[in-house]
Amino acid sequence: MAPPRLIEHGVRVGPLFFEVGVKIFRVGILYSTTGPYGAIGRDCRAGAEFAIEELEKAGSPVRIEPVFGDPAGQPERYLDLIRSMLRDEGCRNVIGTITSLSRKDVIPLVEKYDGLLWYICPYEGFEANENVIYTGACPNQHLIPLFDYMLPRHGKRVYLAGANYVWGWEMNRLARELLMRAGGEVLGERCLPIEETDVGLLIADLERHRPDFILNNMIGPSSYAFLAAVKQLAARDPAFAPERCPVLSCDLTECELGEIEPGVAVGQLSTASYFESLASFENRAFKQRVAARFGAGRRVSSFFAGAYAAVKLWAEAVSEADRDDPASVRGFLHARPRQTVLGTLAIDPRTNHAALPFHLGRINARAGFDIIASHGAIAADPYLVGTLPIQHAPHLRVVQ
Amino acid sequence: MTRTPNFVSWRAAILHRSDDSIERLKRQLERLGVTVLVQWKPLDLAETPADIVLVDADQGWDDLLPWDGDDAPVPVVALLGSEAPGRIAWALAKGAGAIMAKPVVAASVYPALVLATHAHHERTAVKARIAGLEERLRLRPIVHDAMRSIMAAQGGDEDGAYRTLCRLAMQRRLTVEHVAAAIVAGHEPVPRAM
């Protein structure tokens, strides 16, 4: 495995010149920039690259020589690319994967080569691996606070739409459980293949059931087609206007609003642990730096900000540890909370998950989000061991 | 599955020699809110109560778990590296409802707990159901005796006698078999017309 390259370097502070050693580590950046979730992958990669550039500019004692891998949305390519990063390219850390399918696929290799995967996307939970740092939200940080907000305000008669894979299935399952516990009702549920854009049956089902709101766990083109079809439905039936029957997503961000026909999704809601419109000091400074680098029109999504924050967290931990093996990086990451563009971020040593704030945003006419509700950092509970009321043993009902 | 399985405050007994893989398993169980005991000696549930047992099926011997499959008092997970049919048979004979392949990977732990617990409850429920059915089968001659007494008292047919018996069972909130036994034993007067 390639040792980090060491280059001699100096830092001038006023009249003083300090000699420092700069260590350069190879880090894998594994995102699909084309394919059904290409917009998300491009933003993740751009955020990581921007942070890597900033490490250079700021004279950080640790630098990244990125090893890029682009599986182009083809599940089987993730394995070859990450194997090469970990086995041949000298990477101990890889920032990457978007879908749970790909994350689950690469984890055995990450474990085998004792690497560290940085996963920054919201996901359906039920995972905690010592070789993964999770800085994306799990359901007690997105779906549960979303329902806590929505059920008292919009009603408990809900329609569940999802993508036909684990994100859609598990989010819908949990939504059903939350509704059952709250005395609500699932009016209907439909899952579409990931790239399906024919949403006619789904819309017909909605018209028949007339829910209080719609949970949208579809991704990419299906999700965009669905939002466009709901807009048309609302034009002929005001009961489906966003203020009366909003469509809620837990993963729709600024980076995808550009992919949707302008104005189509205005008024619909999404959750995130970061929105571009956050008024924090860190975020204002961050957006100024982004604008200076990419131009004033560059949108920033939670994927861009999340990958950026992951690189910065990596740099802090690696410069403190002076090495990049998973045990050392984890140890320093767990040691104390850190300031990031997502806010103060603590990684729980028990779960390797970040405590994250919750924001609910409403899509505005400027392809951004107006934040309508927020909650301070929520500790991640990936297996929902403390979030849902406990049933005492025997806790699994035998289905007759 | 309508409810999210939750293992908070459960106690797990891992019967395995301690090594890195077992330490990783222990930490993963603790992430799920489970308290863990690791030992490599026969389990005594009276001394160290456990809600679930994870046992080394590669090296486990019969006395390690003081029960046979059908009588396993708690869910059992087999920790298995071997593919030898004999070891798989041993795990089944000890009541294993799920297998975790060795070396244990984090992602196998929660699913194995859910499967083993489900299998255990299903087996317990089926056993209770079979016991109930066997009891009813055993009491069938007594039901016939009671029906004959009712037919004699009412002068009716079998169907009428059975309906009478069912009505009486409902009124007394007892099973048909219990009411029949009470009639045959003379604790309950033979119903005439109802």
User: Is residue A215 helix, strand or coil?
Assistant: strand
Chain B residues touching residue A174 (CB < 8 angstroms): 4
- Is the omega angle on the peptide bond into residue B103 within 30 degrees of 0, that is, cis? yes
Residue A276 has pLDDT above 60, yes or no: yes
What pLDDT, on the 0 to 100 scale, is given for residue A95? Answer: 98
Residue A147 has pLDDT above 90, yes or no: yes
Q: Using CB atoms, pick whichever of B5, B6, B31 lies closest to residue A351.
A: B31
Q: Using CB atoms, pick whichever of B1, B8, B121 lies closest to residue A385.
A: B8
pLDDT bin (cut points 50, 70, 90) of residue B188 is confident
User: What tokens appear for A159 in the block?
Assistant: 């329609």
Distance of CA A48 to the CA centre of its chain: 14
Rounded Cα–Cα distance for residues B44 and B114 (Å): 23
Which one of B31, B51, B117, B127 makes the best mutation probe of the A interface by having the most chain A beta carbons within 10 Å? Answer: B31
Rounded Cα–Cα distance for residues A320 and B8 (Å): 35
- How far is the alpha carbon of A390 from chain B, nearest alpha carbon, in Å? 7
User: What tokens appear for A213 in the block?
Assistant: 């709101």
Give yes or no for A112 touching B (CB within 8 A). no
Q: Quick check: A114 and A326 in contact, CB under 8 A?
A: yes
Q: Using CB atoms, pick whichever of B2, B8, B24 lies closest to residue A177.
A: B2
Give yes or no for A200 touching B (CB within 8 A). no
Give A179 or A8, the one with higher predicted confidence: A179
What pLDDT, on the 0 to 100 scale, is given for residue A194? Answer: 82
Residue of B nearest to A387 (CA): B6
Q: Quick check: B47 and B7 in contact, CB under 8 A?
A: no
Residue B123 has pLDDT above 50, yes or no: yes
Q: Which of A103, A105, A106 minimizes the C-alpha distance to A135?
A: A103
pLDDT bin (cut points 50, 70, 90) of residue B156 is confident
What pLDDT, on the 0 to 100 scale, is given for residue A400? Answer: 38
Q: Quick check: A355 and A348 in contact, CB under 8 A?
A: yes
Tell me the CB-side half-sphere exposure of residue B158, using CA atoms within 13 A: 3
Going B60 to B65 to B67 to B72, the CA torsion angle's sign is negative
Chain B residues touching residue A395 (CB < 8 angstroms): 3, 5-6, 117
- How far is the alpha carbon of A383 from chain B, nearest alpha carbon, in Å? 7
- How far is the alpha carbon of B106 from chain A, nearest alpha carbon, in Å? 6
Chain A residues touching residue B31 (CB < 8 angstroms): 128, 350-351, 383
Rounded Cα–Cα distance for residues A24 and A74 (Å): 30
Q: Using CB atoms, pick whichever of A111, A385, A394 lies closest to residue B33.
A: A385
Close Cβ partners of B156 (under 8 Å, ≥ 6 residues apart)? B150
Rounded Cα–Cα distance for residues B68 and B121 (Å): 16
Give yes or no for A157 touching B (CB within 8 A). no
Share of chain B above pLDDT 70, in %: 98
Residue of A nearest to B34 (CA): A385
Residue A286 has pLDDT above 50, yes or no: yes
Q: Using CB atoms, pick whichever of A107, A173, A385 lies closest to residue B32.
A: A385
Size of interface A-B (CB pairs under 8 A): 69
Q: Flag if B121 and A396 touch (Cβ within 8 Å).
A: yes
Mean pLDDT of chain B: 93
Residue A15 has pLDDT above 80, yes or no: no
What pLDDT, on the 0 to 100 scale, is given for residue A8? Answer: 52
Mean pLDDT, residues A173-188: 95
Q: Quick check: A96 and A31 in contact, CB under 8 A?
A: yes
Chain A residues touching residue B105 (CB < 8 angstroms): 108, 111
Rounded Cα–Cα distance for residues A239 and A329 (Å): 52
Q: Quick check: A228 and A261 in contact, CB under 8 A?
A: yes
Give yes or no for A386 touching B (CB within 8 A). yes
What pLDDT, on the 0 to 100 scale, is given for residue A46? Answer: 98
Q: Flag if B105 and A395 touch (Cβ within 8 Å).
A: no
Q: Which residues of B touch A (CB under 8 A)?
A: 1-10, 24, 27-28, 30-33, 51, 105-107, 110, 114, 117-118, 121-122, 124-125
Q: Flag if A390 and B28 touch (Cβ within 8 Å).
A: no
**How would you class A197 by CB atoms within 10 Å of its CB: exposed for 0-12, middle for 13-18, buried for 19 or more?**
middle
Q: What is the DSSP letter of A12?
A: E
- How far is the alpha carbon of A276 from chain B, nearest alpha carbon, in Å? 33
Chain A residues touching residue B109 (CB < 8 angstroms): none
Which one of A134, A140, A396 makes the best mutation probe of the B interface by having the most chain B beta carbons within 10 Å? Answer: A396
Going B49 to B54 to B60 to B66, the CA torsion angle's sign is positive
Mean pLDDT, residues A37-47: 95
How are strands ordered across the β-sheet holding B76-80?
B35-39, B11-15, B52-56, B76-80, B96-101
Give yes or no for A13 touching B (CB within 8 A). no
Rounded Cα–Cα distance for residues B126 and A272 (Å): 46
User: What tokens appear for B138 in the block?
Assistant: 């055993």
Residue B1 has pLDDT above 70, yes or no: no
Residue B124 has pLDDT above 50, yes or no: yes
Q: Using CB atoms, pick whichever of A104, A350, A388 lies closest to residue B6.
A: A388
Residue A343, strand partner residues: A340
What pLDDT, on the 0 to 100 scale, is given for residue A99? Answer: 92
Mean pLDDT, residues A277-298: 95
Share of chain A above pLDDT 90, in %: 84
- How far is the alpha carbon of B117 from chain A, nearest alpha carbon, in Å? 7
Residue A46's CB is within 10 A of a number of other CB atoms, namely 23
Interface of A with B in 344-383 (CB under 8 A): 350-351, 383
Give yes or no for A388 touching B (CB within 8 A). yes
Mean pLDDT of chain A: 92
Share of chain A above pLDDT 70, in %: 92
Rounded Cα–Cα distance for residues B92 and B57 (Å): 10
pLDDT digits 0-9 by tens, A333-359: 999 999 999 999 999 999 999 999 999
Going B32 to A131 to A350 to B30, the CA torsion angle's sign is positive
pTM for the whole thing?
A: 0.86
Q: Flag if B51 and A393 touch (Cβ within 8 Å).
A: yes
Close Cβ partners of A202 (under 8 Å, ≥ 6 residues apart)? A161, A190, A192, A226, A229
Residue A20, strand partner residues: A9
pLDDT digits 0-9 by tens, A199-215: 999 999 999 999 999 99
Residue A18 has pLDDT above 90, yes or no: no
Q: Quick check: A246 and A268 in contact, CB under 8 A?
A: yes
What pLDDT, on the 0 to 100 scale, is given for residue A4? Answer: 65
Chain A residues touching residue B10 (CB < 8 angstroms): 393
Q: How far is CA A167 from each of CA A72, A156, A193, A216, A335, rounded to the nearest angstrom? A: 20, 22, 12, 11, 31
Q: Quick check: A35 and A101 in contact, CB under 8 A?
A: no
Residue A265's CB is within 10 A of a number of other CB atoms, namely 27
Give the residue carrying structure tokens 């490490």. Answer: A55
- How far is the alpha carbon of B34 from chain A, nearest alpha carbon, in Å? 10
What pLDDT, on the 0 to 100 scale, is given for residue A21? Answer: 78
User: Is residue A49 helix, strand or coil?
Assistant: helix
pLDDT bin (cut points 50, 70, 90) of residue A220 is confident
- Residue A75: phi and psi, rounded to 5, are -50, -40
User: Is residue A25 helix, strand or coil?
Assistant: strand
Rounded Cα–Cα distance for residues A232 and A240 (Å): 9
Q: Flag if A130 and B125 touch (Cβ within 8 Å).
A: no
Residue B59, strand partner residues: none
Q: Flag if A388 and B106 touch (Cβ within 8 Å).
A: no
